[in-house]
Chains A and B, each alone.
Chain A
Amino acid sequence: MAADAIPERRWRRFADVVALALGLNVWLSLVVIPAVQVGALATASKLVVTLVPLLALGAGIALRSELLLLGAFPSTLLVPISITPAIASSHQFGPIRFLVVAVGVVAYLMAGTFFMAFHEPAPPVSARPLASAAGPRAERWQRRERVYWGLTALSVICPVLGLYWVNFDPAIRAFLDQMYAGRVAAMQTLLNVTVLALWLILFLHVFLGVLRPHRTGDRELVTDLAMTRNQARTGRPRLRFHLGVAAALALMAALIYMRRG
Chain B
Amino acid sequence: MFFFKESIDYLSRRDYIAALVVMLIGFSVITVGKEMARLALVQRD
Binding site for B on A (CB under 8 A): 140, 143, 158, 161-162, 165-166, 171-172, 175-176, 179, 187, 191, 194-195, 198, 202, 206, 209-210, 225, 228-229, 232, 235, 237-238, 240-241, 243-245, 247-248, 251-252, 254-255, 258-259
- Whether the pair B39, A232 counts as a contact (CB closer than 8 A) is yes
Interface size grouping (class) on chain B: 20 to 34
Main secondary structure of the interface of B (DSSP, over half): helix
- Whether the pair B38, A228 counts as a contact (CB closer than 8 A) is yes
Binding site for A on B (CB under 8 A): 1, 4-5, 8-9, 11-14, 17-18, 21-25, 28-32, 34-39, 42-45
Bound complex: CA A175 to CA B12 (Å): 6
6 of the cross-chain contacts (CB-CB < 8 Å) are A161-B1, A171-B9, A179-B12, A228-B42, A247-B24, A255-B18
Bound complex: CA A202 to CA B27 (Å): 9
The closest CB in chain A to the CB of B42 belongs to A232
- Whether the pair A172, B17 counts as a contact (CB closer than 8 A) is no
Bound complex: CA A245 to CA B32 (Å): 6
